[in-house]
Structure 1
Amino acid sequence: MPKETLFRYRLRARHLTVYEAFVAQFQRAARELAEREEEPRLASLTVSSRQFDRWLSGELRGLPHPDACRVLEYMLASSAEELFAVPQQASAGGVPSSVAAAARSGAQVEPADDESVIAIVTRTRQLTATNADDRTLEFLRSSLDGVVRRYDREGPKSTRGEVRSLRRLVHTLLDGHQPPRVRQELFRLAARAAGLLGYMAVNVGDYGLAEAYATEARDLSQVIGDVKTELWARGTLSFGYYYAGRYAEADACAAAAVEMAPENAQAIRLLTNGRARALGKMGDREGVERVIGHALELSAAHEVATGLTPCISFEPYGYARTLANAVTAYLSASQVDQVLGTAERIDGIVEDSDPWSRCLVRLDVATALLRQPTPDVDRSMQLGREALALCRDVPITSVWQRSRDLYAEALEWRNREAVRDYGDALRMWSSQPAALPIARAGAL
């Protein structure tokens, strides 16, 4: 059984017995101490999970490294000798004497008289204490923002694990105590971490998991009245329904969210990525034109960015991102002229953007070229091969679905060399290790 050292007691009182939560606080304390003592080397100190487990178990022979001891003493307000001393005797009630001393110093005191001065001060300290200061919140915010910035280049394979760890850390912190301002921000961060994981789950074809994460994001943001994040989460729910082929649900989900806040900038994404594309799949041309027009009016009203904002960003859709979604909606509604005309308007911006956007717009244009009165099969298949090459290293569900749909339309010309070459390229793309799970999920 672990030994009840003062170190273990202090960590339990502060809800820091999970490694990720502890190491975040340890590194913060190390940076503060390095600045205070003007000793830069302390700022780089960290603790491995194996070291942490040994410290927590009370099985240490001796003390940690002197620099680690200094950080722990600063962090936990006791000497290293006191923190790691193995209790030799217990006080009344079986509580180790070192822990009883800690209680006398103000940690987790439960006085008999709840109207005594000591009891009032102690309870106030407990209610206003926090296990997540502003530096911790900034670390969590900047980490999630970093994932958003990198996601279009790296995809879900290299970022999902990082966001899972961040979500787990936020949940661990929420098990502790914080004042309302900090707790509200932790709820927001928890919602956004869940939302990102939901979006990533769509990209790898796991629609059940995507719905669970997006629902978590919606519910957490709703509790704190964070309308922006809630609308984003509802948009991600719609996004998942769309790629699962549940078009009526995708439209209804996005439409209900727009009704909540019709003038909010997040409605731009809900209208184009949510409603327009689903309406296109259901053959509602008038609906597609109407909601795209509304989205462009909102874009002008909010003076959004002109370029392709990151696909997973919590910021409002940029103008080019809205038009890229309009291209897909027009294609679904077989409005070929609008597909080709809109794609041409954003061609320069798309070509300077991320691989996914270049790939997906190419696939939409390639399909439109087959639906012209005079199909351009060779050009279509060339664009299809270019698209697959662009996303070879970062395959996602949307690329698989659109490249497969393009090939299905091209089968009318299956005897053409260009179509055979594209079919071979698609089979090779789908069989690579990174794409194989997506292709298998799409085949079910």
Structure 2
Amino acid sequence: MTVKVLHRSVEDIVAQYEARGPHRMAPETEELRRYLQELLEGRQPPRQQEALFRLAAQASGLLGYMAVNAGRASLAEAYCTEAEELASAIGDQELLMWIAGTRSLNAYYSGDFVTAVGWADAGIDLVPGHPQAIRLLANGRARALGKMGDRAGAERALAEAEELTARHRLPGGLTSCISFAPYSPARTLANAATAHLALGDTQRVLECADQIDDLVEQSDSAWSRALVRLDVATALLNGASPEVEHAMAIGQQVLSAGSGPPIRSVVQRVGELNAFAARWRGQPEVREFVEALQTWRATPQTQLIAKVCDDGSAV
């Protein structure tokens, strides 16, 4: 099998991931990783070997990202460590930045926000002006600092991400969450909304969501639609004049429309909305949301991820 064909296999995994999810995509990604390892144990010309190292690092990185989405934090870290070793062997700084971003994401969803910031900073320090730093700033630093209540730090990270966005030619639309490409402006704004939500800046959450609304609705990413809508719903509950009915209607929309294959970020975000709505538990629209949520969480894979979200442990 040629390097070109193997490269296409990695691209296909990225392209199919959001439609099929981690539980269906991980086995074939593991198969590709094993095949690449067999090739690496052979003898190839230096240029071909470098390409194989990069592909193996990407395959391990993808498996790490899938493990994050599946709520398997320890496995995610193991795959990311493997990916880092392979990328370091060929000095691929861009891929190392992406791996650091995935480790930051893993720590964030494990509730270890200090470590999430640390991994983001480590990635940024490699090449501070690289477009990969946008993801590290918006998804890594800003969101974790927001959870820590560091308003100045989170806003500074978002400002730096915005400045880098203006300096680089970036993909359009809403880039895939697992893509190795730099963040598109819309993806950065979606992450900014989440950071603002953690800081209690409900109006800014709504402003960010409004800016990308058309792109989110047109996107093939059910996860992105779900996450942005859930941030909006939670913001509506946290405003000066809580809009309970509107928030629950959005929550019901997410649950009834389907949010794609179950992943930790969506399950966790739905749980957060449910927790915020608890004070209005006596209202009929909240009761209806809770009933719909119980049905939504009833599938085995969603139950497993929900357990991880509820007890804060990794499986």
User: TM-score per shorter chain, which class?
Assistant: over 0.9
Tell me what 2:141 maps to: 275
Higher RCO (C-alpha under 8 Å, 6+ residues apart): 2
Tell me what 1:311 maps to: 177
1:206 to 72, 75, 79: 72
Tell me what 2:210 maps to: 344
2:231 is aligned with 1:367: no
The one-character-per-residue Cα deviations of 1:388-429 (angstroms, maximum 9, x if unpaired) are 234454111001111011111101000001111111111111
Shift of 1:305: 2.3
Tell me what 2:224 maps to: 357
Kept after mapping to 2: 8 A contact 1:308/1:318: yes
**Match for 2:56: what amino acid?**
A
Tell me what 1:119 maps to: none
1:228 to 90, 94, 99: 94
Kept after mapping to 2: 8 A contact 1:336/1:372: yes
Kept after mapping to 1: 8 A contact 2:19/2:260: no
Kept after mapping to 1: 8 A contact 2:97/2:123: yes
**Match for 2:122: what amino acid?**
A
Tell me what 1:173 maps to: 39
Shift of 1:436: 1.6
Shift of 1:204: 0.6
Moved more, 275-284 or 150-159: 150-159
Separation in structure 2 between the aligned mates of residue 197 and residue 424 of structure 1, nearest angstrom = 34
Moved more, 241-250 or 385-394: 385-394
The within-5 A match list for 1:36-75 is none
Kept after mapping to 1: 8 A contact 2:104/2:116: yes
The one-character-per-residue Cα deviations of 1:292-317 (angstroms, maximum 9, x if unpaired) are 11111111111212311111000100
Shift of 1:443: 2.6
The one-character-per-residue Cα deviations of 1:160-215 (angstroms, maximum 9, x if unpaired) are 11110000000011111111111111110010000000000010100000011111
Tell me what 2:272 maps to: 405
Q: Percent identity, aligned pairs only?
A: 48
Tell me what 1:242 maps to: 108
Separation in structure 2 between the aligned mates of residue 389 and residue 270 of structure 1, nearest angstrom = 32
Separation in structure 2 between the aligned mates of residue 387 and residue 361 of structure 1, nearest angstrom = 10
Tell me what 2:307 maps to: 440
TM-score normalised by structure 2 residue count: 0.96
The one-character-per-residue Cα deviations of 1:250-305 (angstroms, maximum 9, x if unpaired) are 01110121112100110000001111110010011111111111111111111212
1:385 to 234, 239, 252: 252
Higher helix share: 2
Kept after mapping to 1: 8 A contact 2:193/2:208: yes
Secondary structure in structure 1 of the residue aligned to 2:300: coil
Tell me what 2:262 maps to: 395
Cα RMSD (Å): 1.1
Separation in structure 1 between the aligned mates of residue 88 and residue 246 of structure 2, nearest angstrom = 48
Kept after mapping to 1: 8 A contact 2:18/2:260: no
Separation in structure 2 between the aligned mates of residue 151 and residue 389 of structure 1, nearest angstrom = 21
Secondary structure in structure 2 of the residue aligned to 1:434: helix
Separation in structure 1 between the aligned mates of residue 214 and residue 267 of structure 2, nearest angstrom = 24
TM-score normalised by structure 1 residue count: 0.69
Moved more, 392-401 or 406-415: 392-401
Shift of 1:344: 0.6
- Unpaired segments of 5 or more residues in structure 1? 1-23, 25-135
Kept after mapping to 1: 8 A contact 2:146/2:154: yes
2:51 is aligned with 1:185: yes
Runs of 4+ in 1 over 6 A off after TM superposition: none
Kept after mapping to 2: 8 A contact 1:360/1:402: yes
Tell me what 2:12 maps to: 146
Count of equivalent residues: 310
Tell me what 2:154 maps to: 288
Separation in structure 2 between the aligned mates of residue 169 and residue 407 of structure 1, nearest angstrom = 44
Separation in structure 2 between the aligned mates of residue 392 and residue 428 of structure 1, nearest angstrom = 14
Separation in structure 2 between the aligned mates of residue 401 and residue 261 of structure 1, nearest angstrom = 32
Separation in structure 1 between the aligned mates of residue 93 and residue 62 of structure 2, nearest angstrom = 17
**Match for 2:85: what amino acid?**
D
Shift of 1:440: 2.0
